[in-house]
Copies of this chain bind each other. A is one copy, B any other.
Amino acid sequence: MKNGLCLILLSGGMDSATVLYWARNKGYQCRCLIFDYGQRHRRELNSAKSLAHAAHAPFDLIEIKLPWKSTSSLLSPKINIPSHPIEQIGKKGIPSTYVPGRNTLFLAYALSAADALKARAIALGPNALDFSGYPDCRPAYYQAMAKTARLGTKRGSEGNPIKLLTPIIHMNKSEIVRLGECLGVPWKLTWSCYAGGAQPCRRCDSCQLRAKGFRIAGIADPLLSPIDSL
C-alpha cells in the first residue's frame, strides 16, 4: 500500500462506495468511518458495513448525538422526505433532507482520526452536479475545509498536511456509475433511498438521481428489477 493510510467517509450510498474503491485502486490502505447520526432508518448503516467488508477495509462506527431539535427529514420521521420532479432537484433551495453541519461534523471526526492515526488523506464522495443543493457539497466549502485541516492539526502544522480527496465532486451521476463499474463496486450492497424500506421507493430525490445515473450510463442497477431499471 504505497500511498499510506486513507480514511474513507462511507455512508453506504453509491458515491462513497465509488470513492472507497477509487482510493483502494490508488494504492491507499483504506480505513472507513461510518457515522450513526440518528438516521431515520438503519438500512444505510448496514450497507456501509457490508461495503467495508467487501473491500476488506476495517471500519470505525462513530455515534453522533445532536441534542437540539432536528430540522431535517433524514432525522425526523415527522417531516416528509422530498420527492421533486427530476429537473428541479437541487434547484429549489436547500431541501428538508439537509442535516445542519453534517459534513463538517463528519470531517471534524475524520480530521481528529487522521491526526491521531497519522493518516495521509481523507476521501469522501460529495458531488456538486447531480446533487440536492446542500451547501456542504460545494467545491469552495471543501477548499475552506482543506485549509482548516492544514492549520488545525498537528500533522498539518508539522508539514504533513492531511489531504482532503473529493474525486467525484465534478462528475455527474452517470460518470460515477461508469467509474464505479470499472472499479468493481458491488452496487447490490449500496443503498441510496432516503425512505429505507425493503426496496428503494423510486420516488425520493435520491432514488431519482440514482436511476438517472444508471440509465444514462447504460448499466442495470441490481437493486431494481429489470423492468424498473429500463
Using a CB–CB cutoff of 8 Å, the interface residues on chain A facing chain B are 60-63, 65-71, 94, 98-105, 107-109, 111-117, 135-136, 138, 140-141, 144-145, 147-148, 150-154, 156-158
Contacts and interface: CB of A to CB of B under 8 A. Distances in A.
B98 A154 contact: yes
Contacts of A151: 135-136, 138, 140-141, 144
Nearest to A94: B154
A60 B69 CA distance: 12
Given A135-B157, A154-B94, A112 B100 contact: yes
A115 B61 CA distance: 25
A152 B94 contact: no
A96 B49 CA distance: 33
Number of copies: 2
Given A66-B109, A100-B111, A141-B152, 13 more contacts: A60-B67, A60-B68, A68-B116, A69-B116, A94-B157, A100-B113, A100-B115, A100-B154, A101-B109, A104-B152, A105-B108, A144-B152, A148-B148
Given A65-B62, A135-B156, A145-B148, A115 B101 contact: yes
Residue with the highest number of chain B CB atoms closer than 10 Å, among A63, A98, A109, A156? A109
Residue among A101, A111, A151 with the most chain B CB within 10 A? Answer: A101
A61 B112 CA distance: 20
Nearest to A150: B144
A163 B67 CA distance: 21
Chain A contact surface mostly: helix
Contacts of A94: 154, 157-158
A157 to B, nearest CB: 4
Nearest to A37: B112
Contact of A101 (B68, B112, B140): B112
Given A117-B68, A148-B144, A151-B140, A101 B111 contact: yes
Nearest to A137: B152
Contacts of A115: 100-101
